[in-house]
Amino acid sequence: MTVDEVVKVVEAIAKLVGVMAWPAILVFVVFYFRTSLGEFIFSLTDITVKGAGINVTAKVKQREIVASLTAAAASRLNEKKTPESIKKDAQEAFEIVGDTVNARLIRRASRSEVLWVDDIPANNAFERQSLEALGISFILSTSTEEALQELERRSFDVIISDMGRPPDSKAGYTLLEAVKTRGIRTPVIIYASSRAPEHVAEAKRRGAFGCTNRANELFEMTLAALNLRQ
């Protein structure tokens, strides 16, 4: 199977992710990226996390998050992916997850709510699943107007937004400006198709907490915005 074929399969699977449990994602990733990646994910060290009424197996959480982040990286259709680059993404994801997943993180994350603004929510299903594994809940909005209505009704811990939403090619910046004008202090992360230095700098200049197009960075950035990495 060629990389292009793999990407097409990932895209098809992404459309069905709403009815998929994380083990199905793990099976998909392992099957299409073959033995080396499968062995890597299944080699994660078994650690039991206990605390404040929480008793979960960190190994299970790590597998879930690493599988979701790996699938997210593979499904970024604007990038050329190879099995080697996917494995590198998985290794990086495991390092990040190994440094963050613990009882305290899970306890705090379960009280967090994120507003995700994207006109095609299915494009980010794997990324959300990686964060939902920690207990973070999401409200989805498909337009700037809908997002602002949600912000009028309730407060959120973080806002994640794509950049272009028809007819506004800079909708991410439009939302940033509207949030700032309303005096809303919620951190805003731009999850777009580019992480070029000039685009990152522009997003931060406009008030964004951060800007990226990589699932692993988004995971870290969201935890940092939620102040969960302490």
Burial code (b: 16+ CB inside 10 Å, e: under 16) for 154-176 equals eebbbbbbbbebeeeeebbbbbb
Closest CA to 205 of 193, 190, 222, 225: 190
**Tell me, what's the pLDDT at 41?**
54
Distance CA 83, CA 6 (A): 10
Work out the burial of residue 114: count CB atoms within 10 Å of its CB; fewer than 13 is exposed, 13-18 middle, 19 or more buried: buried
Q: Quick one: which of 65, 70, 124, 134 has its CA closest to 97?
A: 65
The pLDDT of residue 78: 59
CATH class, 112-225 region: alpha beta
pTM, to two decimals: 0.78
Output the pLDDT for position 34: 47
Could you tell me the residue ranges of all domains in the chain?
A: 3-105, 112-225
Cross-strand pairs, 188: 159
CA angle 111–27–119, rounded 5-degree value: 55
Cα–Cα distance for residue pair 147/177, rounded to 1 Å:
13
The pLDDT value recorded for residue 94 is 81
In 182-214, where does DSSP find H-type helix?
197-205
Q: Helix, strand, coil: what percent of the chain each, to 5?
A: 55, 15, 30
Which DSSP string corresponds to 44-109? PPP-EEEETTEEEEHHHHHHHHHHHHHHHHHT-TTS---HHHHHHHHHHHHHHHHHH-SHHHHHHH
Could you state, in chain order, the average pLDDT of each consecutive group of 10 residues for the chain (230 residues)? 46 45 52 52 51 54 81 72 75 85 81 96 92 94 97 96 95 97 96 90 95 95 80
The pLDDT value given to residue 57: 53
Contact of 59 with 47, CB cutoff 8 Å:
yes
Rounded Cα distance, 104 and 121, in Å:
29
Q: Choose among 192, 181, 182, 185: nearest CA to 158.
A: 185
pLDDT on residue 90: 80
**DSSP code of residue 129:** H
